[in-house]
Amino acid sequence: MTDGVKSVISKESVPLLSTAAALMLVALPFDETLTYSASCSTFLKTSFEGWARVAGQEWVMGSGALATYLIARATDHPKLSAVGSDMMQAQVVAGATTFVLKHAIGRPRPDGESRSFPSGHAAGTFAAATVVQRHYGLRGAIPAYTLAVLISGARMQANSHYATDLIAGATVGILAGRAATFELGGRRILLTPAVTESGLLLSGSIR
């Protein structure tokens, strides 16, 4: 895990951090407008307000990761057990990082409450989504990141966050997920074609 945390500040994180910084610069002038529009949307309120507010809370994400790990161990599923373990580590990193940043920056929320930046819901859900993506690839990434976006976006609808809070939280979550799955980052699928007497042979290996 130590190597994973160190990887967060490596050059591999530069594209993500650069993209996040650019998005926040673009969104910053429209922060209040975007949150106001989302909070006034009847469709968003009806669709996401209740379940999304609960689903992204830190204790729910942590409990879900722990339950995944324990159930997988009890039913002898090593792959799922590894996912649960990585999710727990990712939630710890994401939670600790957002806690420090929230208290250091102290940005007020749109509704007047304290500690808006970055969004803990976004950090937790994107951390979990990144772990799923690293273990299961695209087939896990699509539903996991879609759910993370919906849960995070619901925080604007609830008038609890600005767009820049969500972008920063998502960035923290992705980095936390990468740190927890550092050992998976070096895996590469290699496919090598070869011509044989019987036809074309395609051999593969995973490094």
**For the chain, what are the domain ranges?**
2-206
List average pLDDT for each run of 10 residues in the chain, which is 207 residues long. 52 82 92 87 65 75 90 90 92 93 91 89 94 91 91 83 94 92 58 47 43
The pLDDT tens digits of the residues spanning 95-147 come to 999 999 999 998 999 888 888 999 999 999 999 999 999 999 889 999 999 99
At residue 105, the pLDDT reads 92
Q: Which option is the CATH number for 2-206: 1.20.144, 2.30.230, 1.10.3470, 3.50.4?
A: 1.20.144
Torsion of CA 174, 63, 111, 149, to 10 degrees: 40
Using the 8-state DSSP alphabet, how is residue 191 labeled? Answer: E
pLDDT value of residue 191: 37
DSSP string, 144-163: HHHHHHHHHHHHHHTTS--H
Amino acid of residue 172: V
